[in-house]
Amino acid sequence: MNSFKFVDLFAGLGGFHYALESIGGECVFVSEIDKNLRDLYQNNHKVSKSIIFGDISECWTKVPDHDVLVAGFPCQPFSKSGKQLGFDDKKRGDCIFYVLNILKRVRPKYFIFENVPNFAKHNKGESWRKVKSALTELGYCVRSTSDSVDDGKSAKHLSPSQYGFPQKRDRFFAIGSQDFLPKDPFPISNNISPKLKKILLTNKDKKKKRDKLIDLEHCIISEQGVKAINLWNKFVDCLPNKHKDLMTTTPMWLEEIDAQYPYVSQTPYQNFLERGLTPAEIEKELNSLPPYAREKVSSFPLWKIKFIDSNREWFSQIKKFIDPDIIQDIRKLDYTYRKFEWNWKSSPSSNIWDHTIQVRPSGIRVSNPSYIPTVVSINANQTPIYGPMGRHLTKRELARAFGFPDKMKLLENSNAGFSALGNAVHVEVAKMVARNLFSYEKRIEEVVNLIPIQNQESIKLSA
């Protein structure tokens, strides 16, 4: 399509807007529940305030005619990091159904959805099957990055790193067309190696005083963060094969190095109940355990049992190599810093500072320095650290990692700004998905033009 109209739902920073506008799109409707993001959207994209609306549940009937609908609907109800309430999430779980209502009422030719990879697996795949079935009933030919799962293969979710962009961020994409789509219509990897250095600030950038997104003062690693990284460096140095020994168990939970609480047939909580401890005694005992072992349930989920089991087995083999003083020093840190994960198996270096590092509630992650790990909706202290420079990335650098232009503004509040980035869609990946989707229209037209005119209508209908 040379020119087309699109609507941007759950718009956030407008990653889809940048992508579609660059290939001929005109935005005719925006829905974003956050007022600050609505104001920022209008400022960045210079669209009329008259087309910007709030909560999708209150404005879905106002969506005008359009050719393409894009929606990065809320991922929290389906994310592994949340409670995974799905459609039962009363605040955000039903948003996708308003999108379906719009598609039913307006019938745009195309749609593009984006979400976390776990959306395809949520509720054993039933959530996506329900949505896909509704889309198919509306007459759309639907394809998603999880379709390969139905063939017994692993899902082919899309990550910017597959196309040479310095961010590893697997995302679920689904597209739909009123015409035929091939089995795998998504862009293939171009095998270009990502280079994180391309998005780092230059000396010229640092002289731009008006750009608040390059403020290096907010990129200093906390004192405890530096201490934790240095302690884990000492821990790794104790291992016979350095970081390679960490590959057998990941994530690594330090608290399991000498733990003895029950976890297979019953939880500590269930054990305390059966022993007849009082509620006060139970609380005291639970507080002496790692946070992940304090659940007041009778049994742990299988994944947690597996992690605890693999950690205890691993520690039984390597504990003799570890300096006890290092273990005690790590235990003085907050629990967040007592979990550790080495994510780059082929790294030539065992020095953590030679990598990208991220401190998350799940622990310290060490990754390939050629790209940043997944940026989620987080606060400023959890943004990626570029080890070779010994600092967190700036908001400008993170925005570049998402393909946003330097002219784009962000929310000035640090946590709100980083949170908005964590929910964004990668501009260039979205653009490639859209281009591929639209290209099939031209191919169908080329095929139809080769058919005798009396048979063209039946060909279009069958497509």
C-alpha 337/C-alpha 255 separation (Å) is 11
- The DSSP H or E segment spanning 70 is strand 68-71
Residue whose tokens read 């260039």: 428
DSSP per-residue codes, 109-166: SEEEEEE-GGGTTGGGGHHHHHHHHHHHHTT-EEEETTHHHHTTS----B-GGGGT-S
CA distance 413 to 422: 14
Helix (H) or strand (E) holding 417: helix 414-422
Q: Which CATH class is domain 4-194+422-462?
A: alpha beta
Q: Can you say how many angstroms the Cα of residue 165 is from the centroid of all Cα atoms in its chain?
A: 15
CA dihedral (301, 302, 304, 309) positive or negative: positive
Amino acid, res. 456: Q
Residue among 75, 95, 219, 238 flagged as catalytic: 75
Any bridge partners for residue 342, and if so which?
366
Are the C-beta atoms of 5 and 65 separated by less than 8 Å?
yes
Q: Backbone dihedral region of 213: left (phi > 0), alpha (psi from -120 to 50 degrees) or beta?
A: alpha
CA distance readout (Å), 386 to 148, 221, 327, 379: 34, 10, 25, 17
- Residue 173 contacts residue 433 (beta carbons within 8 Å): yes
Looking at residue 307, its pLDDT comes to: 93
Cis peptide before 251 (omega within 30 of 0): yes
CA distances from residue 165 to 67, 70, 157, 423 in whole angstroms, order as listed = 29, 22, 15, 17
Q: Give the dihedral of Cα atoms 343, 347, 349, 350; nearest 10 deg.
A: 30
Q: Which is nearest to 252 in space by CA: 356, 368, 366, 328?
A: 366
Burial class (CB in 10 A: 0-12, 13-18, 19+), 30: buried
* Measured distance CA(35)–CA(98) in Å, rounded: 20
**Cα–Cα dist 378/413, whole Å:** 13
β-strand partners of 5? 26
Q: What is the pLDDT of residue 62?
A: 96
Query: Is 75 considered catalytic here?
Result: yes
What's the token pair of residue 458?
């039946």
Give me the torsion for CA of 121, 19, 142, 137, rounded to 10°. Answer: 100
Q: Tell me, what's the pLDDT at 29?
A: 98
**pLDDT given for residue 460 in this prediction:** 46
Burial of 172 (0-12, 13-18, 19+ CB in 10 A): buried
Element housing 82 (H / E): none
User: Helices 223-238 and 324-331, interaxial angle, to 10°?
Assistant: 150
> What are the pLDDT tens digits along the chain (463 aa)?
789 999 999 999 999 999 999 999 999 999 999 999 999 999 999 999 999 999 998 999 999 999 999 998 866 655 555 555 555 545 665 788 899 999 999 999 999 999 888 787 776 777 888 889 999 999 999 999 988 666 656 668 999 999 999 999 999 999 999 999 998 899 999 889 999 999 999 888 877 766 767 777 778 999 999 999 999 999 999 999 999 998 877 789 999 999 999 999 999 999 999 999 999 999 999 999 999 999 999 999 998 999 999 999 999 999 999 999 999 999 999 998 999 999 998 999 999 999 999 988 778 999 999 999 877 655 667 789 999 999 999 888 999 999 999 999 988 776 777 778 888 999 999 999 999 999 987 665 554 454 565 555 554 444 4
Q: What is the pTM of this model?
A: 0.85
**Domain map of the chain by residue range?**
4-194+422-462
Q: Which residues pair with 359 in a beta bridge?
A: 364
Helix and strand totals (H; E) in the chain: 16, 13
pLDDT value for 462? 44
DSSP-derived letter for residue 250 is S
